[in-house]
Each structure stands twice: as C-alpha cells, then as structure tokens.
Structure 1
Amino acid sequence: MFELTVKSKFSAAHVLCGYPGDCANLHGHTWTVEVKVSGHSLNELGMLVDFKDIKKQLAAIVDQFDHRYLNDLPGFGEAGVNPTAENISYYIFQALAQRVGNIREGVRLKEVSVWESPDAYATYREDF
C-alpha cells in the first residue's frame, strides 16, 4: 500500500457554542489540514498521484474557510454543528473523498487531520 500526504493552512475564527470555558468566546487559529490518500499501485511515472493534483483539490475546499467566521459557514452554525477540529475534519473528508477518487482509479482518501495548534489535532477516517 502506498500513501501520500499533503498539507494546507488557513486562518479562521470560531466560537464553540455551549463550551464551558474560554473557547465559547470568539477566537481564531491558523489551522493546518493534513490529508492522506492511499492506493495499491503506482502510475507509469512511479507516482501514486501527483502531489499538485491533491493540493489543487484540497485548496478548492480549504479556500472557503480562509479568513472566515466558521460558525457562519453552511453546515456549521445554522445547522447546529460546532466548528470543532473534529467536525471540520469530517466536513473536509466528505467534500474531498469523491474528488480524490476522480483523480485516479484505485486511489482513495484515507484520512483528514485538522490541527488547531501545533500540538492539538483531530482526525477523521472511514474504515473500509
């Protein structure tokens, strides 16, 4: 099994509604998103997929978060979903999974990790 990892960053603010502490107040992070894709075979160039293809698809999703108030984005605040690292990783996974599958047959999105600080992150993956 081959695995490829790319990272991206965005800056955004959020509020954790109902949280019993400081995170219930407006605050922001420079978020890091780490995406892993996997597959069993390499292409004729010896690559699972081109890094730039994964980065392009990830950027299309992450750009909608950059310099935004996450609670205002569809799928979060009005839907009653707190924009936690866990929920953001799930959202990005759902948005990216099909895009990755369309890049090359046999390549799948393995997991998405979202870091809200250099030492705290959440990961979403679907076990197959």
Structure 2
Amino acid sequence: MVSGVSEPPTTPRQPLTVIMRGEAPVSRADCCCAPALAVCLSMRKGYSGQGLTARAPRSAREGCSGRGAGRILEIVYELTIQSEFAAAHAITIAGEREPVHGHNWRVTVVVQGDTLDADGLLCDFHLVERSLKEVVAPFHNRDLNAIAPFDRLNPTAEHVARHIAEQLQSALARELPAGARVSRVGVTEAPGCEATYHPPEPQ
C-alpha cells in the first residue's frame, strides 16, 4: 500500500449477470448514477459482465438525467449447462439442398432467475443437465433430416436451438423453482458459429 492511498481489495468479486431493461445500450457517460453503483458497465439488455453491480439508490435513479434515466438495474443469476452430440444434416438454402454432412454439435443452455434457495442454489444443476441429455439423445449418430420435427422442418442450427429450448422448457416446467426459466439456448455446428434462441418470457 502506498502511503495515503487506499488500494482496492484484491479478492475477486463473485461474477453476476446484470440486465438493463431497455433496448439502447447504456455506457458510463450516459449514466449519471455511476457514483452510486459498485461498478458502472457498458451494457445492453442481456449483457453478462464480470463484477458485482449494486442497484442505485432511489434518489440516484430519480435524479438521473442521462440516457439511462428511469431504468433499473436488476441482478439475476444464470446457470450454464452444455452438452454435445454427433449428427448429420442437409439443409436447404434458396431452394437447393446441400449434401448430407456431419457435425459435432454443442448445445449451451442458460437458466436464469433472480432468487436462490436456502442452499444458495438457483436450481439443481444436475436436473437441468439430465433433462438436456434426454432431449438431445434422439439426435446422437443420426441424420436429423430423418427425425421429427426435422423430417418436415429445415434442420438449421436456428431450428435445432428452438426445438431443444421448447422441449427443455416442457421437461422442466414442473421442476424449476418459481422465478427460474430457460432464457437462452445456443447451438454450435462448428467452432466460432452459434445460433441462439431466446424463449419469450412468461406473461
């Protein structure tokens, strides 16, 4: 420590996800509430950042005149589960069907919620993991074009992501605690290329 200067603690903060309700990105310059926050990040809706961000006091929110005025920061928890399967497919683009080819598909599922149980858990990690494996099991070492619903639906990564999300939502409907939901499913055919489906929030 340098004399007369307080150094920040070296213990890393617990990573959390901060969601800004609103469509436009908000930067440090836009948010006059920054001094009231533990950290003021550049954020978009759904942005996942490192660091703990506290909700600004009501007085700071009401007095904010920047582009972030009137918006409230919500702290939520996210659980990420991944699974893989090997499968072939042939998609049709602009009326032309490509040759059948295979991929090692990777599926990433995000479960989101704003409360933890008495054990400090958002939900049972293994429950989601088992359900995801059951949903993708029919695809293992198969041609997706021969499996419902892709025998009648173009088996693009986007359609695969949505199908998995809907099946997983159904499987977990009575298993997830109140306030927790499947918020995102990403499907990767090859490294660096991912299609993502965000299920609509329940009304």
- Report the Cα distance in structure 1 between the residues aligned to 2:94 and 2:130, rounded to whole angstroms: 34
Aligned residue for 2:92, secondary structure, equals coil
- Percent identity reads 34
Aligned to 1:83: 155
1:101–1:109 contact (8 Å) kept in structure 2: no
What SS does the corresponding residue of 2:84 show, helix, strand or coil?
Answer: strand
Question: Considering only aligned residues, what root-mean-square deviation do their CA atoms show, in Å?
Answer: 1.6
Moved over 6 A (4+): none
Q: Normalising to structure 1: TM-score of the pair?
A: 0.90
Which structure has the greater CA radius of gyration?
2
Q: Which has the higher contact order (CA 8 A, sep 6+)?
A: 1
Structure with the larger strand share: 1
TM-score with structure 2 setting the length: 0.58
Aligned residues: 125
Aligned to 2:92: 17
Superposition pairs of residues 1-128 of structure 1, within 5 angstroms: 1-18=76-93, 24-77=98-151, 79=152, 81-106=153-178, 107-128=180-201
Larger fraction in helix: 1
Q: Which runs of 5+ in 1 are unaligned?
A: none
Give the Cα separation in 2 of the matches to 1:18 and 1:40: 41
CA-to-aligned-CA distance 1:35-69 (integer Å, 9 cap, x gap) = 00111111111110121111000011011111000
